[in-house]
Amino acid sequence: MSKPPIQISPSVLASDFSRLGDEVEAVVEAGADRIHWDVMDGVFVPNLTIGPDVIAACRNRTDAFFEAHLMVVNPDQLAHRYVEAGCDLVMVHAEACDHLHRSLDNIREHGAEAGVVLNPHTPAEAVAHVLDLVDMVLVMTVNPGFGGQKYLPTMEPKIAKLRQMIELGGYDVDLEVDGGIGPSTIGGAVAAGANVFVAGNAVFRHPDGLAPAITGLREAAAAAGA
């Protein structure tokens, strides 16, 4: 199977919220492949962030692919709101869904792509029986809740296992990593088999600006064999 193309997905969590629409437009202009929206409810994770109306307000600023990462305890009640807000992909945590199969079906029935997210402690096997229902598997490489945390290289064997499960099953599924991704860590995730990379601080807080930040990530990914 040919290698899937590398994609960089900046997390607007690290952007300047007072200029959110401008930041989204600028990061797409700078070369982002998609936009990552971190949705936190203050219960599943100890932080509170972006409601659907905020995303809807930015939807008319770009045609870029929007992905919502729902860190909430009741994703079934909320997922359709994020589809209606203009998200192309909605991702739910396996740990938040008693009926994960149904939750993923629900997202697709509302017309979006569906994804499943794994916390650091959750094994790859948790998604073995839903790989036919998803477009994306997202491996957390930090504990979710905040940007700017340290990358957990101990997740790399899990990433490799998921890549193997996807390839052996012949699934058309992307494999994304989220948390602590920067020029010095992206290579390990590439080598393990990830092909979509969320980056918050490494993009929005780069001293040289957005475009050099994204180019630097692509170069580091390429150096690792992407």
Question: Among all residues, which ones are annotated catalytic?
Answer: 38, 178
Among the residue ranges 30-38, 48-56, 127-135, 150-158, the one whose residues contact Zn ion (CB under 5 A): 30-38
Kindly give, in sequence order, each residue whose CB lies less than 8 Å from that of residue 52, ignoring residues fewer than 6 positions away. Answer: 78, 81, 82, 84, 85
Write the binding mask 167 to 196 for Zn ion: x where contact by CB under 5 A, - elsewhere.
-----------x------------------
Region label for 209, one of left (φ > 0), alpha (ψ between -120 and 50) or beta (otherwise) = left
Regarding 113 and contact with Zn ion (CB under 5 A), the answer is: no
Give me the count of residues in the chain: 226
Neighbours of 36 (CB within 10 A): 27
Given candidates 23, 38, 41, 156, which one binds Zn ion under the rule CB under 5 A? 38
Regarding 62 and contact with ligand DX5 (CB under 6 A), the answer is: no
Given candidates 113, 156, 174, 178, which one binds ligand DX5 under the rule CB under 6 A? 178
Give me 40's structure tokens. Answer: 């936190």
Nearer to ligand DX5, 117 or 133 (CB): 117
Task: Pick the closest to residue 130 from 99, 157, 156 (CA basis).
Answer: 99
Minimal CB distance residue for ligand DX5? 200
Mode of pairing for the β-strands spanning 89-93 and 174-178: unpaired
CA distance 114 to 110: 10
Regarding 174 and contact with ligand DX5 (CB under 6 A), the answer is: no
149 binds, among ligand DX5, Zn ion, none (CB under 5 to 8 A by kind): ligand DX5
Positions in the binding site for ligand DX5 (CB under 6 A): 11, 13-14, 36, 38, 69, 142, 144-145, 147-149, 178-181, 198-202
